[in-house]
Chains A and B, each alone.
Chain A
Amino acid sequence: MATIAPELPLERARSAPRRLARIRPGRIVVHLALLFFVVLWTLPTAGLLISSFREPDQLAVSGWWTALAPATIREAARLPVAEAQVEENGVYVIRGSVLEPGSNRTIETFGTTNATLGDTPAGGTATVRVGGEITLESDGAFVWTSPTPFTHTTGPRVYYAAELQPRATFENYATVLTANGVGRSFINSMTVALPATIISVMVAAFAAYALAWMRFRGRTFFVVSVVALMVVPLQLALIPVLRLYNEVGSVLGIPGKGYFGVWLAHIAFGLPLAVYLLRNYIVGLPREIMESARMDGASHFQIFTSLVLPLSIPALASIAIFQFLWIWNDLLVALVFLGAQDDHVVLTGRLIDLLGTMGEDWNLLTAGAFISIVVPLLVFFGLQRYFVRGLLAGSVK
């Protein structure tokens, strides 16, 4: 049987003197080994989270582990054409800036060809091929002077290496939530997950009570069937259920795909595990309580609603968490039964779309992915105790 669930985050800290006394080479190896695993397991998610707050320019040129260091980027800007010149004391001058205001860049070196980009430090002067000399300051301002009038009709390019200061931004989130439909999908995921979770826990609770405490023929057979159904691959249900939906849909004149079908499918697919876990819990409730209630003339319905349900709150909570996480994280059921209409797509499906259409726009992908995992993470950290308890009850038997 399951032992009592360990309370993960709350380990008893050993007292300091004892800890000091225990510093031995062997113990250091243990610390380092665990640290190695923890870092390895945390890095991928940390990378995603950090990247989602970086500017697109930064993200494209440097790894997220350098997020706090300024990045060096190489860019080019086109200088103005001859019309922009003014004559000052017999010298022809074009002024301007190669950087937009608020571009967050500091120019380090520049040149008039890609090859000589590193040759002139900011503030220095370089010769321009179409005539004259250009002085470029680190803030992007330039002065381009020539003793003879400028005549060029296409502006030549100036190449520069600039330092990009790191800056945290919510821009990616704003973009992905609105422009890419992630916000809409967030609501869709909620619309799918909440009703399906609540209803399936309710249906499972009644069935679990019947299987645990009511006498009827075939009870063992049903319990064993539930155990068997727990491992049936979802793949077997897809085609028959979809055909069924299409038939029902054509009879009723409604589309076969939609929220209603997904709710029912999720309720059903989660039932075996939910019934199994709840039955295991309810069967372990003290027999005396049940029997004395029966003696007092309470019906099974009354016992269930007024006695068993309140006593089963922890188990119900852990099953609700499982169900919610599984539905929220599901891709296959939504893909098959919800269809690909843009206004119905759930978060997992939206992420797949984003992977396909903007596979290299990591600023949007990382932000979108984080939005999709933030709800499970909150549920998980907030209710970890129940989650662990449910896991243990489900597996250790």
Chain B
Amino acid sequence: MLQQGLYAALTIVLGVGVFLAYFWGANWILDRALASNARMPHALAQRRDNLRSRIRPWLFLAPALIFLLVYLVYPVFETFRLSLYDRLGQDFVGPDNYTWAIHDATFWQAALNNLGWLVIVPALSTIFGLLIAVLADRVWWGGLGKTLVFTPMAISFVGAAVIWRFVYAYRGPDMPQIGILNAFVTWLGYPPQPWMQLTYVNSLLLMVILIWIQTGFAMVILSAALRGIPGETIEAARIDGASEVQIFFTIMIPQIAGTILVVWTTITIIVLKVFDIVYAMTNGENDTQVLANLMYRWTFISGDTGRGSAIAIVLMLAVLPVMIWNIRRFRAAEGTH
């Protein structure tokens, strides 16, 4: 253990050192190799100054660019290429992997489940987040309340899975229930349920975990947006005799509609990629499969990179609309600078 600690410390020093040496060294070399001074012919000095300022941005950018190219840009194309090849990535098979997916029941089941996640999780996270943000602004202990609702954001999906498996824990009807959900159900007088084996219900209960995590995110962002609403508009409505509920729906919601959309799409992206929760809770058993987990299974359990890649490409296509929308939004925001 001590050895590993030293190993980690050494890596930090070495890794950081290598990158520092690169940034510092590259700049130093550039300044030396293309130095200009007053004794030089004016044209030469000017040319060197220009060249220096043309090269330097690339020195700053190079590491990030290389990382992004190797780890994100190249893989998008390579995954697409592999999706047209057989299970070992050797023989070209055309669209076979996609036609397989279209005719495969598990694929459709995973896709439909993803769709369910996509509709329910962003909606409920945003609604709960907004509700809690509004409530918390009205009570003196709202700050504490918000912190507690926000806390699950720090917890890993796997940690959350353990927490919720304990909530959903099931024991036979004659035994004392140690899962709080079944304890509640039996307290109401109903028999305990093996939640993770009930089709549809199990998927919904998995979604609850992600809603539990993401509500805090929605709440923080929406809370800040609510505070950004000019107080006069709300006061004016109040003087006009509008009720709090009316004010909420006719004044607050329209003013923060843009932020709601941002929160919604951000959670949508997270939902599309959901893997850990399903992997840890059910591993896709009992009709809870989702695309990310199906992709993992085909690629790393069944060893079929063709089908795995095809599923990954489907995920990419699903993300594409949000990507385009983000780019548009970004360009619009930059235009106003």
Give me the interface of A with B, judged by CB distance under 8 Å. 2-3, 5-11, 13-14, 19, 26-27, 30-31, 33-35, 37-38, 41-45, 47-48, 51, 59-65, 183-184, 187-188, 190-191, 194-195, 198-199, 202-204, 206-207, 209-211, 214-216, 219-220, 222-241, 243-244, 259, 263-265, 267-269, 271-272, 275, 283, 299-301, 304, 325, 328-332, 335-336, 348, 351-352, 355, 359, 362, 365-366, 368-369, 372-373, 376-377, 379-381, 384, 388, 391-392, 395-397
Contacts and interface: CB of A to CB of B under 8 A. Distances in A.
B67 A42 contact: no
Nearest to A274: B64
Contacts of B1: 183-184, 187
A92 B282 CA distance: 59
Interface string B193-237: 000000000000000000010011100110111011000000000
7 contacts: A10-B143, A34-B145, A215-B53, A331-B156, A332-B275, A369-B162, A396-B262
Contacts of A325: 154
Contacts of A376: 154-156
Contacts of A265: 71
A236 B217 CA distance: 26
Contacts of A19: 140
A210 B140 CA distance: 45
A359 B140 CA distance: 42
A63 B74 contact: no
Interface in B268-292: 269, 272-273, 275-276, 279-280, 292
B54 to A, nearest CB: 7
Contacts of A388: 220
Nearest to A37: B132
B327 to A, nearest CB: 6
B61 A206 contact: yes
B68 A268 contact: yes
Contact of A2 (B68, B215, B224): B224
A45 B155 CA distance: 10
B155 A272 contact: no
B97 interface: no
Contacts of B156: 328-331, 348, 372-373, 376
Contacts of B158: 329, 331, 348, 351-352, 372
Given A299-B27, A362-B169, A198 B12 contact: yes
Q: Identify which of B8, B179, B295 gathers the most chain A CB atoms within 10 Å of its CB.
A: B8
A373 B163 CA distance: 11
Given A198-B15, A397-B262, A191 B8 contact: yes
Contacts of A299: 27, 31, 56
Interface of B: 1, 4-5, 7-8, 11-12, 15-16, 19-20, 23-24, 27, 31, 53-54, 56-58, 60-61, 63-65, 67-68, 70-76, 78-79, 82, 89, 128, 131-132, 135-136, 138-159, 161-167, 169, 176-180, 183, 212, 215-217, 220-221, 223-225, 227-228, 244, 259, 262-263, 266, 269, 272-273, 275-276, 279-280, 292, 295-296, 299-300, 305, 308-309, 311-313, 315-316, 319, 322-323, 326-327, 329-331, 333-334, 337
B326 A37 contact: no
B15 to A, nearest CB: 5
B215 to A, nearest CB: 7
Contacts of B53: 214-215, 300
A251 B89 CA distance: 19
Contact of A232 (B138, B169, B180, B316): B316
B12 A194 contact: yes
A62 B176 contact: yes
B143 A34 contact: no
A198 B16 contact: yes
Contacts of B78: 239-240, 243
A379 B155 CA distance: 11
Nearest to A359: B165
A272 B154 CA distance: 20
A354 to B, nearest CB: 8
Nearest first, the 10 A-B pairs at minimum CB distance are A329-B156, A268-B71, A11-B143, A207-B64, A380-B154, A240-B78, A210-B60, A369-B162, A191-B8, A240-B75
Given A224-B331, A229-B72, A232-B72, 11 more contacts: A8-B147, A33-B131, A41-B148, A44-B164, A48-B163, A63-B176, A63-B178, A220-B334, A240-B82, A331-B157, A369-B162
A231 B135 contact: no
B227 A3 contact: yes
B85 to A, nearest CB: 11
Contact of A199 (B15, B151, B157, B228): B15
Given A44-B167, A352-B280, A236 B315 contact: yes
B56 A300 contact: yes
B214 to A, nearest CB: 12
Given A34-B139, A227-B327, A268-B67, A377 B155 contact: yes
Given A269-B71, A331-B279, A391-B217, A231 B154 contact: no
B22 to A, nearest CB: 10
Contacts of B132: 34, 37
Contact of B140 (A13, A183, A198): A13
B262 A207 contact: no
A299 B300 CA distance: 49
A373 B155 CA distance: 6
Contact of B275 (A11, A27, A331): A331
A300 B60 CA distance: 10
Given A41-B212, A232-B76, A236-B75, A227 B330 contact: yes
